[in-house]
Amino acid sequence: MEIRNLGRSGLQVSAIGLGCNNFGGRIGLEPSRAVVHAALDAGITLFDTADVYGERGGSETILGEILGPRRKDIVLATKFAMPMDDEGRLAGASRRYIIAAVEASLKRLRTDWIDLYQQHRPDPRTPIEETLRALEDLIRAGKIRYAGCSNLPAWQVVEAVWTARSIGLSGFVSCQDEMSLLVRKHEADLLPAMRAHGLGLLPFFPLASGLLTGKYRRNATMPEGARLTKTQRLADRYLTEPNWGTTEKLADFAESRGRSLLELAFGWLLSRAPVASVIAGATSPEQVRANAAAGSWTLGSDDAAEIDRITGHAT
């Protein structure tokens, strides 16, 4: 497994990471244990979760129970800011909430520190300086090692970078945002900003909720129990006529080179700066092993140009 630095920070992560959003929701304790052990055996070191995953706290709780002494062998990432109650009081990026949220996550994860603590979404009510100062205090207290963000627009990421620099804070080292062969909306603004300021990208939904695995076929019976089969809102989003057409062309492109669509999806992302690790969820050990093995294809410039043409991003 390739190991990469997360942006310009010294934090090193595996090129393929494990998204733990299925734990406590789609799968329970024992299936989650099998997934975690398969990831460890495959050399995956980055485990990404969030306080809201698994019915609010379920994913962190399960992960904390499973890891035990292996906690020291991984880079543990989690998130805060999404609502942890129905009233919306337990949410946001204020100092008051961050201090409470990190303690709750540490307890559920059964650990003394979090390697990467990420703001899960923007908080328009809290000045970014307040958020960054609270995270800096957690770094100095040893409760977190690094801070990152997720789902922030490019202008807010740049604002956070310059605020941190102007007052001497560590600031964010990474962004976690959706990116895949079918979702390339951040290439015009967020990615150039990240490259300019040395932040690492952790793309989530790299397989477009499974469409880029190759297991779905247009006008064919949907796979039983699959995410796009069971979750209508995701099916409505990804199973569009343009996406079907693009996916079929991408599959032909990969097959003509003796590769799978899965390998193309991961290889393309890992060839894009500033991607550090591709966050991929899994519900079985077989999926983990397939994901871990799929990141070995290094795409050339000609391949990248052809993919841009297929996906409608040719210049």
Contact predicate 148/175, CB 8 Å: yes
Q: Is 53 a catalytic residue?
A: yes
148 Cβ contact partners less than 8 Å away, ≥ 6 residues apart: 77, 116, 117, 118, 119, 172, 173, 174, 175, 176, 202
Alpha helices in 1-141 (DSSP H): 29-41, 53-67, 95-109, 128-141
- Residue 272's closest CA among 310, 238, 237, 303? 303
- The per-residue b/e assignment along 251-279, b for 16 or more CB within 10 angstroms, e otherwise, is bebbeeeebbbbbbbbbbbbbeebbbbbb
- Catalytic-labelled residue, pool 53, 117, 216, 238: 53
Instruction: Show which residues are catalytic.
Output: 53
